[in-house]
Amino acid sequence: MVSFADPWTPREQVVEGDRHGDREERRTLEASREVVAYLAESDTGPQDEQIGGWVGLGQVCRLHREVEYVSGQQAGRTTSEWAYALTSLTSAQADPARLLQVWRGQWQIENGLHHVRDVTLGEDASPIRCGQGPAVFAAVRNTALGLIRLARHSNIAAAQRRYAMYPWEALTLLGITPPS
């Protein structure tokens, strides 16, 4: 059997680490094409380009995150977790370093969009829960974020406060000019 549990399974890996304040983080990403072949096997034999519903599976990855607290109240504490992923990128298209970069890039999306919608715009706290209301207000929030970003504001919360104080400036983002 070929799997990540087998230490003899061929795999490529990359290790990356950095320090954030009182903690050091290490990430080890392992990628294997051999595990893909293992997943392709079934009782009836190998399947053509489809693996468990995944068409064109290229690699299987696992990421080990280890965080060690080097100072502060949690000094000496270490946490460890494993995460797994499937990708259509082959080893020729993306080596482990590139896969780690793609994996970490997902957090830019989370921090750049979802966090702003949840925290700055209070999306999770919205009392609107019925019918088309949630979708309509999500569209309004996305439009507002898009307009604020088009106006080249780097701080969404500060831009919101500014436009709340000067609503005519907000309307100019929509091309509406104030009456003279």
What is the per-residue pLDDT across 6-26, written as a single tens digit (0 to 9) for each? 776 777 888 888 888 888 999
pLDDT at 16: 86
Dist CA 89 CA 161 (whole Å): 43
Helix, strand, coil tally for the chain in percent (to 5):
35, 25, 40
pLDDT band at 32 (very low <50, low <70, confident <90, very high): confident
Q: Which of 49, 48, 29, 51 is nearest to 38 (CA)?
A: 51
pLDDT digits (tens, 9 = 90+) for 85-140: 888 898 899 999 999 888 888 777 777 778 888 889 988 898 998 999 999 999 99
Based on its alpha-carbon atoms, the radius of gyration of the chain, rounded to whole angstroms, reads 23
Is the CA virtual torsion 148, 150, 155, 156 positive or negative? positive
DSSP state for residue 128 in the 8-state scheme: -
Q: Is residue 157 predicted with pLDDT exceeding 90?
A: yes
pLDDT at 41: 62
Q: Is residue 152 predicted with pLDDT exceeding 70?
A: yes
- In residues, how long is the chain? 180
Mean pLDDT score, 48-77: 81
Which ranges constitute the DSSP H helices of 10-118? 34-40, 96-109, 115
Does the pTM exceed 0.75? no
Write the DSSP assignment of 8-42 as a string of letters. TS--EEEEEEEEETTEEEEEEEEEESHHHHHHH--
CB 100 within 8 A of CB 29: yes
What does residue 45 show for φ and ψ, rounded to 5 degrees?
105, 180
